[in-house]
Chains A and B, each alone.
Chain A
């Protein structure tokens, strides 16, 4: 569902989550997000790269150059300690909000 608008802040959380297991390059992150959301979110490079660079500057991500599967030089992102803390905090926040929203919508 490419038309789905990413909620403000959701993209950050998805990127953090996507990188929780191992480091990935841009396209890899994109695929990983599609995979973990069962294709609900298809992140385009126009939103992905600004977000990656912003999060890197915020100190949540660190990047290194490495060789990709096809022997191409790619930039790999991984979580920093701050990034892990951020993932934790945002996850909790999200769960609180999701619960509250679900309750609110279920209320008669």
Chain B
């Protein structure tokens, strides 16, 4: 049986190798001996016969090798042998191995984790049926210049009437919603009010029940609610009895009609409840609360839809001259969920981490080339002893793959840690972060890249030996000769590119960090330390507090209890909070100022605040007075304006004494007299230019939902629990939400730039480390190679400083090339950072210069150790070494 025979041979070849080898050796020796016997028999002398026999037989070792080649299982056996040899070689040079594996691990790990995140956020298909056909329609116009801005009901009507590109345009608005009822404590969640076609557009089926039916957004519709699976489980134990049950949403009864699966999170990745948006016929422009969502008609592309929608935008501008430069940005579902700033940031970071991989790969290539030069003699020796070239190549391949596998395994660990780090650094508003997993594809790709590098550069010694003359290489003795020159040049080029790329990353990181510092320097406009301000949003729940008198009494009690909490210095109510919680913004009229025909009243932030608000926050009074306890419902209606407001609307005039009023229907003839001018507060984010604002006293502009702000003596966070208990003690229906210190609010408002800066710095750090290792390796190797030369120089009278200068000059030369290349490349690339930067230009000269100097320092530091070693070379030893 041939198969059994084969198996027997395989077993023998693999497990009884010494015996097989011994027998082969004996067989061949017998052959030569027999041949010698014959020669002697034919009359040759003993020595001559032996010689002749040996020549006629050819190289015994070569024959053995060829016999081994035909043996069953020789591939496997050689692989094992190569692996053993590879491991031995790697263990013999631990520094080389450690550096190569470290470089690969950092490169592979950083890339795998970053690309896992990028894939999860930017590319993983959304779990909605119509995900790629649904678009969100925004409205952007001057002066309220937000790319993902909102429209009002009139704009929606105009869009709907003229729309041809979309099926069934729907409308939605996001708002925080207090939900309560007999099932449990009231809580506040992210919600959305949507028109009847919303769910049909998204194409997602409810888990139980139904979604809104056509017509359920008409003015007479009942209040309905669709819950998320999370609320359904949390508050209703996932029972089907929830359908038809009435719950409290923002204090009014709504009937639960369905539950959406957890994978459906829109318009926000935290949305947990949807109510039916009731479309009352608008009587005016505003308020601008809404965004459109619709499904593209079959055969219509997003670009075509955008073009058509822009035409509608032109008409909107014609009808309403207040709109300047109006566009209606149409965005795919994912882009809408990501917002305008996240995608470019993630792409930039992914690009940056790709550069890290490049550096890692270059580093490994560099190390392999260095080794190739050293191993040239080994290769020549092995070739002359009968090793086939194919065999050598295979063995080098095994070593490279071994290295790549080790790097990959370590890289997997780094990737795992990296992902945990990114999760920890998550600004909290990274959508889809829950769905991010370590991506096998990404890991595979990185492994493949590193293997390819290993193969490409690991084979250098084999190709080298193919070109070189064995005799010459072997004869050269202790020094490695031919080829090392071209290797040296290749390695210098690699190091230069490493320096250039890490400089680019360093510039990027420095720009982001300086930008972050710029943002963190912005105060928001208040003087009280943010750690000593505690804020929370209060919704009284009970309908009776819609009544102004009842409500004011309730808040008097809230403030009384708050002020009685030990550690509280001051307490006030407000509907707007810095840095980014704008309460309201709407049009207003200045008494005696006529509008140009067709012009709309200006829109500014209008905040409602109670007495002590400015004092609590530490907002300076520029002129006039603050609000007091005497500004009550039936006293003279008053307002305070911000400095920016006064400058914009009363330039060169006295603002105090002027009268303004909220415009639009329902506000009547309620003129307010300006009694004070205060410093500017930021309500639209720290990086947005200050929006002009006017303030109304709480007692004259009552609304049941408002935030409490307290100033404390010490750490404000410690008082949160006491305050919560005391306020909820007034009425169990009270919902308290968004409890936190101003410090937390400020931190979270810069979380995105901090995230960007942190990751970019990390990448730059890794790049720098790898580049330093690369430089060190190159120079150390060069010094070792030139030991003899340096010895001769010193013997001929060169001083130690000359030697030092010589070595340093070499690395400085490399650094200079790398820095020039890096600065040029960075100049071209940093403009990609433009949207992520604040208060600093993408080509900031100082940053570029500092990064260049920084790299130069790193290079000099990396060179110093080998350079000093060069100066300690003793001429006597160096010359004897030869």
Contact = CB atoms under 8 A, between A and B. Distances in A.
Nearest to A53: B67
B28 to A, nearest CB: 7
A57 B66 contact: no
Residue among B1, B26, B31, B58 facing the most chain A CB atoms (10 A cut-off) = B31
Nearest to B38: A27
A72 B34 contact: yes
Contacts of B69: 50
Interface in B20-74: 23-24, 26-28, 30-31, 33-35, 37-38, 56-58, 62-63, 66-67, 69-72
A58 interface: yes
Given A49-B28, A74-B27, A75-B27, A57 B71 contact: yes
B461 to A, nearest CB: 27
A58 B72 CA distance: 9
B135 to A, nearest CB: 68
Contacts of A70: 34, 37
B9 A57 contact: yes
B34 A49 contact: no
Interface string B675-693: 0000000000000000000
Contacts of A59: 1-2, 5-6
B3 to A, nearest CB: 9
B30 A49 contact: no
A72 B62 CA distance: 23
Most-contacted residue by chain A among B5, B37, B71, B72 (CB, 10 A): B5
A50 B63 CA distance: 8
Interface string A1-31: 0000000000000000000000001110000
Contact of A27 (B35, B63, B67): B35
Contacts of A45: 28, 31, 57-58, 63
A38 to B, nearest CB: 19
A41 to B, nearest CB: 15
A95 B63 CA distance: 32
Contacts of B27: 26, 49, 74-75
A17 B593 CA distance: 120
A57 B5 contact: yes
A50 B1 CA distance: 21
A50 B35 contact: no
Contacts of A25: 30-31, 34
Contacts of A68: 30, 34
Contacts of B67: 49-50, 53
Contacts of B57: 44-45
A68 B32 CA distance: 13
A73 interface: yes
A54 interface: yes
Contacts of A27: 31, 34-35, 38
Contact of B72 (A51, A57, A82): A57
Contacts of B63: 45-46, 49-50
The majority secondary structure among interface residues of chain A is helix
A26 B67 CA distance: 13
B33 A72 contact: yes
B2 A82 contact: yes
Contact of A53 (B2, B31, B38, B71): B71
B2 A72 contact: no
Contact of B58 (A46, A56, A72): A46
A26 B31 contact: yes
Interface of B (DSSP majority class): helix
Size bracket of the A interface: 20 to 34
Contacts of B72: 57
Contacts of B23: 75
B66 A50 contact: yes
Contacts of B33: 72
Nearest to B72: A57
A49 B25 CA distance: 11
Interface in A67-108: 68, 70, 72-75, 82
A58 B4 CA distance: 10
Contacts of B62: 46
B1 to A, nearest CB: 7
B20 to A, nearest CB: 10
A72 B27 CA distance: 10
Contacts of A82: 2
Contacts of A49: 27-28, 31, 63, 66-67
Contact of B30 (A44, A51, A54, A72): A72
Nearest to A68: B34
Interface in B278-294: none
A67 to B, nearest CB: 11
A7 B6 CA distance: 25
B277 to A, nearest CB: 81
A73 B26 contact: yes
Most A C-beta atoms less than 10 A away, residue of B5, B34, B69, B71: B34
A108 B307 CA distance: 79
A57 to B, nearest CB: 4
B70 A74 contact: no
A45 B24 CA distance: 12
Given A50-B69, A57-B71, A75 B30 contact: yes
B70 A53 contact: yes
Contacts of A74: 27, 30, 34
A46 B66 contact: yes
Contacts of B5: 57-59
B70 A73 contact: no
Contacts of B35: 27
Interface string B189-217: 00000000000000000000000000000
B177 to A, nearest CB: 79
Contacts of B70: 50-51, 53-54, 57
A83 B57 CA distance: 27
A45 B33 CA distance: 13
A42 B629 CA distance: 121
Contacts of B37: 70, 72
Contacts of A58: 2, 5-6
A82 B1 CA distance: 8
A59 B27 CA distance: 19
B30 A73 contact: yes
Nearest to B5: A59
Contacts of B34: 25, 27, 68, 70, 72, 74
Contacts of B66: 46, 49-50
A87 to B, nearest CB: 15
B70 to A, nearest CB: 4
B38 to A, nearest CB: 8
A56 B67 CA distance: 11
A68 B58 CA distance: 22
Nearest to B6: A57
B790 to A, nearest CB: 48
A99 B593 CA distance: 117
Contacts of A53: 24, 67, 70-71
Interface string B69-102: 1111000000000000000000000000000000
A21 B635 CA distance: 132
Contacts of A56: 9
Q: Which of A45, A68, A74 has the most CB of B within 10 A?
A: A45
A58 B70 CA distance: 11
A49 B35 CA distance: 15
Nearest to A55: B70
Contacts of A26: 27, 30-31
13 contacts: A27-B31, A44-B56, A44-B57, A45-B58, A45-B63, A49-B28, A49-B66, A53-B24, A57-B6, A58-B2, A58-B6, A70-B37, A72-B30
8 closest Cβ pairs, A-B complex: A59-B5, A54-B70, A57-B9, A75-B27, A50-B66, A27-B34, A59-B2, A74-B30
Given A53-B24, A59-B5, A73-B26, 7 more contacts: A25-B34, A44-B56, A49-B27, A59-B2, A68-B30, A74-B30, A82-B2
Interface of A: 25-27, 44-46, 49-51, 53-54, 56-59, 68, 70, 72-75, 82
